[in-house]
A and B are shown apart, each in its own frame.
Chain A
């Protein structure tokens, strides 16, 4: 690694050194309380899969490059110089961390390993070593934002092709489109994923509730956040913000996608509209009596996986239980659940990167947790979790049906009494 590249990486590192991150890097006492927190370590007890093990790769660089004691007596904290070899180690731990932040709930200080790994990811981007597939997907999202007019017609046509399936779940009011797009002064802008599974159930539910809504042109998923590029993360979210402002909506509902929800809700600063997850929207409709669901339509034993970015990192936990209370009479909680729930092992871009072999190995503990419930249906509210849980279902022969919460609700919709 030449001096110029080292200097550039050092600059990137420094750009992430907020007061919080500095404290996270300086205060760790190596007590080891966080070690069992990571699902990857619990499934495969190797230190590089633990929170402190991952953080140390960055912490040692920090001591060497940003603290005088690291330069004067680096051996004290085993400080290391930026090098090609060390970047290999950084890669190994950065993109195997799902950013679930379960370890934050173990650490006595609340050290946030996800923030430390965001430095690792930025360094890898700077060194051109990030997973190219994630960067490519992020660039595609940004390009779509830049050329939205060119794709509007084909998008509208594709969406119209889904309307029949929406109507099959819930008839539309006369004069209203089943999937409204570009509705000025809509109350709610729904941001889906690029797939009909993310549009049809939500459309049926919102139509049943009589919502004045509009479908966003853009997909919710934020590959910029997965790859760890703050600029691309912002650009991808900004497309949706601009659309919401243009339409004058009061609320932006993010589909069942954990990272998209967390980025839009917590990382984009003050916004002129409210950001909610679609789980919150469904719970609100039920609370207000705007939709009714028949629990007899979900007769199998059901359990629910709290997506990390929506629950522990987003605060949406009890809303899911509200929905489940209406949805089924045979609900069983995963143990542990809510804030302590095990990560599915698919977040942080791992699903998009493929990495199936690692994902299956590192989520053995998740599979065991799910199997212990004896449930026949495993519901969740995140695309990544759904894909990962479906893979686990197959790999560990759990014999379950993995379903989106919105899909179960839309299948059980009944007319108000």
Chain B
């Protein structure tokens, strides 16, 4: 079993990151090399600078705000929380410090996970209702479930750390995760078990497995909208 854990925690991480990076770059190159659309796809009226307008459309989602305010609220919450989540994972690396080096907490102190969980539950429940249910395909449910379990296991790790009062509230500390990630970044291929001592290590492995799957699927899924939402909004602005 330890071998399986090791494969998930070390080689599969490299594989996932490589598939994600190469996949995303290859998709973007393929899209960039596809023939240019022969005519303008602009919607009028066009006000203000196109690029800034497209940035506003991409990150502010004004069309959703106007027509589906509740969805917009959760979308905004979700995307903001996801950005904080990425930052908080970078914060784990010893070389990249956003919070003080001795801080026992991740950015948001667990609130980010709660926000993401709530948003993902909303997205999932929304999919069960008509007419969204009828346009939903299996990959929509599976992606949401993957994200939901990814966030839930992440939150569980965070809660599990806080619950152990005997060890000062933290079994596997933020600094321990930092050592694990530092080992990965420096290609040391060490067994993570040597720095991650907690009894809930299985949850950590599960979390990393789901994160790996997420990274591997990203270039082949609708999450590619992360990278192409801006160019698409530029087309609507007449670029």
Give the interface of A toward B (CB within 8 A): 17-24, 26-33, 35-37, 45, 47, 50, 52-53, 56, 67-69, 75-78, 101, 104-112, 115, 266-267, 269, 311-315, 317, 338-339
Give which listed residue, A19, A77, A338, contacts B34 with CB less than 8 A: A19
| Chain B, residue nearest A316 (CB) | B44
Q: Is B21 an interface residue (CB 8 A)?
A: no
Give which listed residue, B32, B57, B67, contacts A33 with CB less than 8 A: B67
In the bound complex, residues from chain B placing their C-beta under 8 Å from that of A21 are 37
Query: Is A31 touching B138 in the complex (CB atoms < 8 A)?
Result: no
In the bound complex, residues from chain B placing their C-beta under 8 Å from that of A28 are 222
A–B complex contacts, Cβ < 8 Å, 30 sampled: A17-B35, A19-B36, A26-B222, A27-B222, A29-B140, A29-B225, A30-B136, A30-B222, A31-B64, A33-B64, A33-B67, A33-B68, A35-B131, A36-B67, A69-B220, A77-B138, A77-B139, A78-B138, A104-B43, A108-B64, A108-B229, A110-B57, A111-B232, A266-B39, A266-B42, A313-B43, A315-B44, A315-B46, A317-B44, A339-B43
Classify chain B's interface size.
35 or more
In the bound complex, residues from chain B placing their C-beta under 8 Å from that of A105 are 43, 63
Beyond the given A33-B64, A109-B232, please list 17 additional residue pairs across the A-B interface where CB-CB is below 8 A.
Answer: A17-B35, A19-B36, A23-B231, A31-B64, A31-B68, A33-B68, A35-B131, A45-B131, A47-B135, A67-B220, A76-B137, A78-B138, A108-B64, A109-B233, A314-B44, A315-B44, A339-B45
CA distance A15 to B200 in the complex (A): 54
CB distance from B135 to the nearest CB of A (A): 5
Contacting residues of chain B (41-66) with chain A, CB-CB under 8 angstroms: 41-46, 57, 61, 63-64
Query: Is A317 touching B45 in the complex (CB atoms < 8 A)?
Result: yes
CA distance A32 to B140 in the complex (A): 12
Q: Is B115 an interface residue (CB 8 A)?
A: no
| Chain B, residue nearest A310 (CB) | B44
Query: Is B37 touching A20 in the complex (CB atoms < 8 A)?
Result: yes
Assuming A22-B34, A110-B236, A315-B46, is B134 touching A47 (CB within 8 A)?
yes
The 6 lowest CB-CB distance pairs between A and B, nearest first, are A110-B236, A315-B44, A19-B34, A76-B139, A20-B37, A18-B37
Q: Is B184 an interface residue (CB 8 A)?
A: no
Query: Is A30 touching B140 in the complex (CB atoms < 8 A)?
Result: yes
In the bound complex, residues from chain B placing their C-beta under 8 Å from that of A30 are 132, 135-137, 140, 222
Assuming A18-B34, A45-B131, A77-B139, is B41 touching A112 (CB within 8 A)?
yes
In the bound complex, residues from chain A placing their C-beta under 8 Å from that of B132 are 30-32
Query: Is A27 touching B232 in the complex (CB atoms < 8 A)?
Result: yes
Q: Is B202 an interface residue (CB 8 A)?
A: no
In the bound complex, residues from chain B placing their C-beta under 8 Å from that of A315 are 42, 44-46
Query: Is A76 touching B142 in the complex (CB atoms < 8 A)?
Result: yes
Assuming A29-B222, A33-B71, is B61 touching A108 (CB within 8 A)?
yes
CA distance A317 to B140 in the complex (A): 39
CB distance from B8 to the nearest CB of A (A): 22
Q: Is B96 an interface residue (CB 8 A)?
A: no
Give which listed residue, A23, A68, A75, A266, contacts B228 with CB less than 8 A: A23
